């Protein structure tokens, strides 16, 4: 029993605040969570108000057509609602795609979002990874020519490292790939990348001209709705129609749907949060340079700092009530740190300085 899952690793989510409270006896108000790339500024106030007003309808199923949300996304991206599928987080849309293709081979970067491999191995797929940790499209193409995988994952920007390909290079790569191979562009952090550098922006509308590309996005990051679990996929109508065959009814909640609809209307709030993110990220870069720490230039809401004895340092930070992500499980000493609010970041710098010294 379960032989097909024998070598499948369990996805490790960032430690919850509740766990730190139980293990270290620290008051919840004194805990800083910088491990799960959540939006420290929360969702737009309109979304919070909408959830409160809709709370008395939680006994009702949501509108399963998701008409209003799709209409908002279609307007935002200048596409048709028939090009959109809604998921419980963008990772559910990824799962739909893998179930639809049932691949024998799947290609991805050596270090990237763990669920690509987890979902693919459920079908016994052979996992192909590039030699480089970060996305190298030349390496992707060489492996593609040799192995002809049924699915290629491109995480743009990449989680958990933060680097980001140029859109021009991505489109040139797509045009070299046979239409029988599905290319999935994970755009969970695209709002951050496109704000920092327009050359990194993958426009969902541009994806529609390709017969074999699926773009996924989420409300969990820039829109601050991680706890509501709302994502979406965008592709040509043929792909979306087939993914809908696998979508269970009412796959997001009534409250989640309302929150996403209202959050999508408040782009100014989202923009301000992204601006603050990169203002604070500059402080992390300055901290790294002052303490001779290497870091990966990030186009997301987190940054990777290379730090010796990262596991020990992460544990000591935890004892101080600061939750970060240790990268030792990926094979190197580093911490992935979500960019928090100003006061949260300053507290981290103070404690981290003492630990690395």
Please answer whether residues 238 and 210 qualify as being in contact, where contact means their C-beta atoms are separated by less than 8 angstroms.
no
Residue 357 pLDDT grade (very low, low, confident, very high; cuts 50, 70, 90) = confident
> What pLDDT shows up at residue 103?
97
Residue 122 has pLDDT above 70, yes or no: yes
Q: Kindly report, residue by residue over 304-329, the tens digit of the pLDDT.
A: 999 999 999 999 999 999 999 999 98
Distance, in Å, from the CA atom of 79 to the CA atom of 116, rounded to the nearest integer, reads: 27
Q: What strand order describes the sheet that includes 126-129?
A: 84-87, 231-234, 213-218, 182-186, 151-155, 105-108, 126-129
> What pLDDT shows up at residue 27?
76
Residue 81 pLDDT grade (very low, low, confident, very high; cuts 50, 70, 90) = very high
Q: What is the mean pLDDT of residues 284-301?
A: 97
Residue 1 has pLDDT above 60, yes or no: no
Distance, in Å, from the CA atom of 3 to the CA atom of 25, rounded to the nearest integer, reads: 40
Domains of the chain: 3-43+268-356 (3.90.1150.10), 45-265 (3.40.640.10)
**Residues 263-267: contacts with CB under 8 Å, at least 24 apart:** 263/43, 263/44, 263/46, 263/47, 263/219, 263/223, 263/224, 263/225, 264/69, 264/72, 264/73, 264/76, 264/219, 264/223, 265/44, 265/46, 265/72, 266/44, 266/45, 266/46, 266/47
> What pLDDT shows up at residue 29?
80
Residue 114 pLDDT grade (very low, low, confident, very high; cuts 50, 70, 90) = very high
Strand, coil or helix: 147: helix
* Percent of all residues in the chain with a pLDDT value above 70, rounded to a whole number: 94
Please answer whether residues 352 and 340 qualify as being in contact, where contact means their C-beta atoms are separated by less than 8 angstroms.
no
Residue 18 has pLDDT above 80, yes or no: no
Q: Kindly report, residue by residue over 240-280, the tens digit of the pLDDT.
A: 999 999 999 999 999 999 999 999 999 999 999 999 999 99
């Amino acid at each position: 029993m379960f032989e097909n899952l024998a070598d499948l690793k369990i996805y490790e989510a960032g430690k919850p605040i509740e766990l730190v409270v139980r293990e270290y006896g620290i008051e919840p108000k004194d805990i800083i969570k910088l491990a799960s790339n959540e939006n420290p500024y929360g969702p737009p106030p309109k979304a919070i108000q909408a959830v409160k007003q809709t709370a008395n309808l939680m006994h009702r199923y949501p509108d399963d057509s998701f008409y209003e949300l799709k209409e908002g996304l279609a307007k935002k991206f200048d596409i048709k609602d028939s090009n959109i599928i809604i998921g419980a987080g963008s990772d559910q849309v990824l799962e739909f795609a893998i179930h639809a293709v049932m691949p024998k081979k799947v290609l991805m970067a050596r270090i990237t979002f763990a669920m690509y491999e987890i979902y693919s191995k459920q079908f016994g797929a052979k996992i192909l990874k590039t030699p480089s940790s970060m996305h190298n499209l030349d390496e992707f193409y060489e492996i593609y020519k040799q192995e002809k995988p049924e699915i290629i994952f491109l995480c743009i920007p990449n989680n958990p490292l933060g680097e980001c390909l140029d859109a021009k290079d991505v489109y040139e790569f797509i045009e070299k790939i046979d239409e029988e191979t599905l290319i999935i562009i994970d755009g969970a952090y695209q709002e951050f990348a496109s704000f920092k550098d327009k050359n990194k922006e993958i426009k969902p509308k541009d994806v529609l001209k390709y017969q074999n590309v699926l773009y996924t996005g989420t409300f969990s990051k820039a829109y601050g709705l991680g706890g509501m679990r709302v994502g979406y996929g965008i592709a040509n109508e043929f792909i979306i129609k087939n993914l809908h065959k696998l979508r269970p009814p009412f796959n997001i909640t009534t409250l989640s749907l309302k929150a996403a609809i209202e959050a999508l209307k408040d782009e100014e709030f989202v923009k301000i949060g992204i601006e603050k993110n990169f203002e604070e990220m500059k402080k992390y870069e300055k901290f790294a340079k002052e303490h001779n720490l290497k870091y990966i230039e990030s186009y997301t809401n987190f940054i990777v700092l290379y730090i010796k004895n990262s596991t020990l340092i992460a544990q000591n930070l935890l004892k101080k009530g600061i939750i970060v992500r240790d990268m030792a499980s990926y094979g190197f000493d580093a911490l992935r740190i979500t960019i928090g609010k100003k006061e949260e970041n300053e507290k981290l710098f103070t404690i981290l300085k003492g630990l690395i010294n």
